[in-house]
Structure 1
Amino acid sequence: MKGGVIVNVERIARKKISESIEEQIEGMIASGQFKPGEKLPSVRELCTLFGVGRSSVRDAITALKGKGIVDVKQGEGTFICQFDSSRMFQYTMLLPSEEDVRELFQVRKMLEPGIAEMAAKNRSPEDLKKLKLALSKTFENDWEADYHFHQVIVHAAGNKMLTQFIQFISTKMQKAMIDFYQYIQPHEAFLKEIASHHYHIYESIKQSNSKDAYIHMLNHLELVENILQTSLARIQR
């Protein structure tokens, strides 16, 4: 819990519990849910948040401290250190598997083209302004701007249940985007192609062309998945 607001998290599977907690906290920091200098919830609150035991939370905090991501002050609590979010990728030892990526994009391809289609039908003038601003920021080639662009589309679709479901898988989406942008940063051709995809998605929603919105989003997700799978295959050789 942060400032009385419940943070969206995923319940933790049994295996590698502390590592899963560690990854989720890293994702929250990278996404800005927790900011440098802020205090993390107490061990007891984190146990409740993740539905796990104290030892798993303590092990995760110890690992984060070892990475220099948090600072544990005796009697005061655990605080987020000042850091560059790109460093966190270098610290993350567990790369997603090809199966993880495939399953995530199976879900995304089932949901997001339909969400883009709904956004083209339901978007308001205010939604369109927000989407245009989000689009402009994606040209900075930053994973957070890309993530925000997709979230604005979800909001523009106007379905609260879909919004909640996307929030449920948001940690996995953020991690995939961090990995993706780490790989494509040196590849100008990929960056231009992604920018072109975002532009066509925006234009189809702007023109209320639901069919094109669906197709452009599906093509975009298939491209991103293929690039991620290719990068993972090269790393694992």
Structure 2
Amino acid sequence: MNSLDSLFEPIASESVVDLVAGQIESMIVEGILREGARLPSERELSERFDVSRPKVRDALKRLEGQGLLRVRQGEGTFVAKLAGEAMSPALIDLYARHGHAFYDYLEYRREQEAFAARMAALRATPSDREAIEHLVRELDEAHETDDPDRSAAADVRFHGSIVNASHNAMLMHMMTSIYELTRRGVFYNRRYLRSIDGTGDQLLAQHHRIAEGVLAGDPVEAEEAAREHLDFVEQSFREGIDRERREGFARKRKITGELA
């Protein structure tokens, strides 16, 4: 059986177009179908919904008219870009010049991810747990092989898996935009953070603790672990920036001393 078969359920005859559109809408709201995801063909959807192709076509046209789907000629039907950019390029450049915005970003992530971890501990399904465990193994392997790129990618996906397990649709859509900024290294480079940590051992241990809290169904522990992880990130950056500032002053004093 194709794995997509389990996503779509046969529907009764009345209000077929409404029901087809409604199922697809629900999957978008719940984050099952994300922006950019390609839908099966009309024929495949017709078979999976067990309705006629004209009804499927009408439903897809309705969703396209609502801005939820986008048809690319010769390519297929895709979920449209629904969430706007968290920040415009101009605002990102502005924030890059004013470092305090970075701490606003961490503050926002700390509160949202603490909430997500709490909810995940209460709501995670077996599939959610499997995804979290898989990403913990991915983090472990990337750490063992000293692969910073793989580690950075797994880091973002790990936090995303916790948010997904919260089953809060609004949170999932909002954090997708935030994690895209993280993935692009807009505010910080994880390689730099790992260099501050020294070995990355503490970061790995913190991810393990978040996962363990969620998997144990302990909302208090999961929330505390997520909050302390972001506290550690913030404190590490503050210390790293201060260390670089002091080193800069020391180099300048050395130069002036040599010129004296």
For residue 234 of structure 1, report the CA deviation from its aligned partner.
Answer: 4.5
Candidates 211, 215, 227, aligned match of 1:206: 215
Deviation by residue 1:59-105 (Cα, 9 ceiling, x = unmatched): xxxxxxxxxxxxxxxxxxxxxxxxxxxxxxxxxxx957431211101
2:96–2:187 contact (8 Å) kept in structure 1: no
Q: Is the 8 A contact 1:98 1:229 kept in 2?
A: no
**CA apart distance, 1:116:** 0.0
For 2:49, the equivalent position in structure 1 comes to: none
Contact 2:131–2:161, Cα closer than 8 Å, also in 1: yes
Which whole-Å CA distance do the structure 2 matches of 1:145 and 1:194 have between them?
12
SS of the residue corresponding to residue 10 of structure 1 reads coil
1:6 is the counterpart of 2:86: no
The question of whether the paired residues in 1 share the 8 Å contact of 2:118 and 2:223 is answered with yes
Question: Aligned letter for 1:115?
Answer: A
How many residues align structurally?
163
Q: Amino acid of the residue matched to residue 176 of structure 2? A: Q
**Given that residues 128 and 165 in structure 2 are in contact (C-alpha distance below 8 angstroms), is that contact kept between their aligned partners in structure 1?**
yes
Contact map agreement 1:122 1:157 (CA 8 A) in 2? yes
Q: 1:125 aligned to 2:106?
A: no
2:236 — aligned with what?
Answer: 227
Alignment-derived partner of residue 29 in structure 1: none
Contact 1:116 1:205 (8 Å CA) reproduced: yes
Q: Structure 1's 187 and 100: CA in aligned 2 closer, same or farther, altered over 3 A? A: closer
Displacement of 1:189: 4.0
Superposition map of 1:90-169 within 5 A: 97-139=98-140, 140-141=142-143, 142-169=151-178
Distance 1:193 1:11 in 2: 29
Corresponding residue for residue 188 of structure 2: 179
1:101–1:176 contact (8 Å) kept in structure 2:
no
Structure 2 CA distance, aligned partners of 1:96 and 1:233?
A: 17
Q: For 1:16 and 1:114, how far apart are their aligned partners in 2?
A: 30
Read off the aligned partner of 1:123 and give its amino acid letter: A
Superposed CA RMSD in Å reads 3.0
Amino acid corresponding to residue 154 of structure 2 in structure 1: A
Contact 2:193 2:233 in 1 (8 A): no
Give the SS at the match of 1:179: coil
Cα gap change, 1:160 to 1:187, in 2 (>3 Å):
same
SS of corresponding position for 1:197: helix
What is residue 201 of structure 2 aligned with on the other side?
A: 192
1:182 offset after TM fit, Å?
2.0
Flag the 1:188–1:217 CA change in 2: closer, same or farther, 3 A. Answer: closer
CA 1:190 to 1:114, structure 2 compared with 1: closer, same or farther past 3 Å?
farther
Q: Check conservation: 1:116, 1:153, Cα contact below 8 A.
A: yes
User: Which stretches in structure 1 are left out of the alignment for 5+ residues?
Assistant: 21-93
Give the letter aligned to residue 174 of structure 1. R
What's the TM-score, normalizing by structure 2?
Answer: 0.54
Report the CA distance between 1:170 and its aligned residue: 2.6
- Seq. identity, %: 19
Amino acid at match of 1:10: E
Asked if the contact 1:104–1:172 (Cα under 8 Å) also holds between the matched residues in 2, the reply is: no
CA contact (8 A) 2:156 2:179 kept: no
Given that residues 139 and 154 in structure 2 are in contact (C-alpha distance below 8 angstroms), is that contact kept between their aligned partners in structure 1? Answer: yes
CA distances 1:209-228 after superposition (whole Å, capped 9, x unpaired): 00000100000011012223
Q: Determine which structure has more spread, i.e. the larger CA radius of gyration.
A: 2
CA contact (8 A) 1:112 1:218 kept: yes
Separation in 2 of the partners of 1:215 and 1:114? 10
